[in-house]
Structure formats: structure tokens, C-alpha cells
Structure 1
Amino acid sequence: MTLSEELRSRNFSIYGQWTGVLCVILCFALGIANIFHFHWVILFSILCLISAFVILFIEIPLLLRICPTSAGFDAFIRRFETNYMRAAIYLALSLIQWLSLVAARTSLVACAVVLLVAAVFYALAGVRGQAFVNSKTLGGQGVAQMIV
């Protein structure tokens, strides 16, 4: 299945996964950009950077096979294999970034919005009863088995 076929599949878990990849890029870039504030925003920037790496391992399952990680971290990441659990983690990460508005108005609100969109996609996939499908482009079913 090619990327265009995946996007035309109308499976919201695929949309959520690709939105998650966008979240990784956005959280990493804006986390670094806002870390130079001398304010409470630094805390939210660090949390944004941490969430970028957590989302990276959640959305690209191939990384769990090729990166040396602990058994505890692997078990934590494997909790998010269903649409509802992914919606929950994205909602929690989004709420953390929304709370950054308490410290100051920064570009971290863009991360909060995109994380919320990913949570909505995963929640819609769960409500519609769509099975969670990993994108083959991001190291889904076939690619992970080829590595081992």
C-alpha cells in the first residue's frame, strides 16, 4: 500500500499516525525555539521535546527494534497500540502544551493544536470501530519483520 493509497483509505488511525509524525517535527522544532526564554516557558519547552521523542517511538514502531531502549520504556510504548490509548496520550500531551499559556503566549500553542488534532483522529478511529493500522511507510507490518 503506497502513501497515497493509505491516505485515501479513510482510516482515521492512518491520519492520526501521519499527524503524529507532524507533531514530532513541530514539537522538536518549537521545543528548541522556545527553550531560550528565561521564564517558566523553559519547563514547557523541555516537556515538548520529551513528548517529541515519546511520539517518535509510538508512531514509528521500527525504532523500538533498532534503537537500544530499556524493557520498561518498551513496555510503556507498547501500551499505546490501540486507537483509544493513542488518543489519550495525545490528549494528555496537548493539555500540557495548552497549560503553557499560563506561563506565556508562545508558539507552543501550535504544538497543542496539532496534538489535539491527532487525538481527535485517533478518537474518531476508535468511535467508528476502525482497527488500528500502522502505516507501512513508517515501518508498519512488513518492514519491522524484515529487520529481524
Structure 2
Amino acid sequence: MTLAEEFKSRNFSIYGQWTGVLCIFLCFALGVANIFHFGLVIIFSVICLVCSFIIIFIEIPLLLRICPTSPVFDNFIRKFETNYMRAAIYGVMSIIQWISISVAATSLIAAAVVLLLAAVFYALAGVKGQAFQGSKTLGGQGVAQMII
């Protein structure tokens, strides 16, 4: 299945996964950009950076096979294999970034919005009863199992 066919499949988990990939880059960039603020914004920018690395392993399952990680971390990441669990983790990450507004209105709001969008896509996939379908481009659908 090509990338265009994946988007035409109308499976919201595919949309959520690609929105998650966008979140990786956005959270990393905004985390680095806001780390130079003074005050409590630094805490939220560090959390945003950490979220970007967690999302990398959630959305690109091939990395769990390639990167040396601990069994505890692997088990933590494997908890997010269903649409509802992914919606929950993205929702929590979004709420944390929305709370950053109470400290100062920064560009972390953009990360909060896109994280919320990913949570909505995964929640819609769960509500519609769509099975999680990982993108072949990102290492899903048997690609990760081919690595020994």
C-alpha cells in the first residue's frame, strides 16, 4: 500500500500516526526554542522535548528493534499499541502543554494543538471501531518483524 493509498483508506489511525510524526518534529523544535526562556517555561519545554522522544518510539516501531533500550522502556512503549491508549497518551501530553499557557503564552501552544489533533484522530479511530493500522512507511505492517 502506497502512502497515497494509506491516506485514502479513511482509517483515522493512519491520520493519527502521521500527525504523531508531525508532533515529533514540532515538539522537538519548540522544546529547544523555548528552553531559553527564564522561569517555569523551561520545565514545559523540557517536557515537550521528552515527549518528542517518547513519540518517536510510539510511532516508529522499527526503532524499538534497532535502538538499544531497556526492557522496562520497551514494555512502557508497548502499552500504546491500541487506538485508545495512543489517544490517552497524546491527550495527556497535550494537556501538559496547555497548562504551560498558565505560566506564559509561548509557541508551546502549537505543540498542544497538534498533540490534541493526534489524540482526536486516535480517539475517532477507536470510536469508529477501526483496528490500529500502522503505516508501512514508518515501519508498521510487518516491517519491524523482518528485522532480527
* TM-score class normalised by the smaller sequence: over 0.9
TM superposition shift of 1:146: 2.3
1:35 aligns with 35
1:92 aligns with 92
Runs of 4+ in 1 over 3 A off after TM superposition: none
2:126 aligns with 126
Give the unaligned 5+ runs of structure 1.
Answer: none
2:144 aligns with 144
2:77 aligns with 77
2:25 aligns with 25
**Structure 1 length as normaliser, TM-score?**
0.99
Aligned 1:53-68 pairs, distance under 5 A: 53-68=53-68
In structure 2, what is the Cα distance between the partners aligned to 1:80 and 1:145? Answer: 17
Aligned residue pair count: 148
Q: Secondary structure at the match of 2:142?
A: helix
In structure 2, what is the Cα distance between the partners aligned to 1:76 and 1:146? Answer: 22
TM superposition shift of 1:147: 1.6
Identity %: 76
**Structure 2 length as normaliser, TM-score?**
0.99
Q: C-alpha deviations, 1:51-93, integer Å up to 9, x for none?
A: 0000010000000000000000000000000000000000000
Give the unaligned 5+ runs of structure 2.
Answer: none
